[in-house]
Chain A
Amino acid sequence: MKKICLVVAIVALGNLAASATDINFSLDTFCDTFQLTLTGTPKVYLDGVHTTCPGLPNVLVGGFLHTIPGMGAVLDLSDPTWGYTEQLPYGWEFITNADTRQPCVWASYLNYPGTTNVLFDSGTCTYFTDVDARPNVSSLRPAFKGPTVN
Chain B
Amino acid sequence: MKRSSLVLVFVVFFAFANATASETTHNVNIAFNGHCDTMELTVSGSPLIDVAGTHDLSACTDMNPNLSPIEYVVGFRHRFLRSIDPRGSSKVLDVMDPALGYYDNLPYALEYLIKTDETCAWAIYEDTGSGHVLSGAGTCRLFKTGSPPTPRAGSQPSFETHK
A-B contact count (CB 8 A): 157
Please state if B109 and A91 are interface contacts (CB–CB under 8 Å): no
- How many chain B residues touch A (CB < 8 A): the figure is 48
A40 and B76 alpha carbons, distance in the complex (Å): 22
Q: Which of A50-100 contact B (CB under 8 A)?
A: 57-64, 66-70, 76-85, 87-93
Chain B residues lying within 8 Å of A68, measured Cβ to Cβ, are: 49, 76, 78
Please state if A62 and B109 are interface contacts (CB–CB under 8 Å): yes
Q: Which of B23-73 contact A (CB under 8 A)?
A: 42, 44-45, 47, 49-54, 67-68, 70-73
Q: Does A42 contact B (CB under 8 A)?
A: yes
Chain A residues lying within 8 Å of B81, measured Cβ to Cβ, are: 42, 44
Interface residues of A (CB under 8 A from B): 37, 39, 42, 44-48, 57-64, 66-70, 76-85, 87-93, 109-118
Main secondary structure of the interface of B (DSSP, over half): strand
Please state if B102 and A83 are interface contacts (CB–CB under 8 Å): yes
Interface residues of B (CB under 8 A from A): 42, 44-45, 47, 49-54, 67-68, 70-76, 78-81, 84, 94-103, 105-111, 125-129, 131-132
Question: A68-B49, A91-B97, A117-B75 are known contacts. Are A57 and B102 too (CB-CB below 8 A)?
Answer: no
Please state if B94 and A111 are interface contacts (CB–CB under 8 Å): no
Please state if B94 and A89 are interface contacts (CB–CB under 8 Å): no
In the complex, given contacts A78-B111, A111-B74, what are 10 additional A-B residue pairs having Cβ atoms less than 8 angstroms apart? Answer: A48-B127, A63-B96, A69-B49, A79-B96, A84-B100, A91-B72, A91-B75, A91-B97, A93-B96, A115-B53
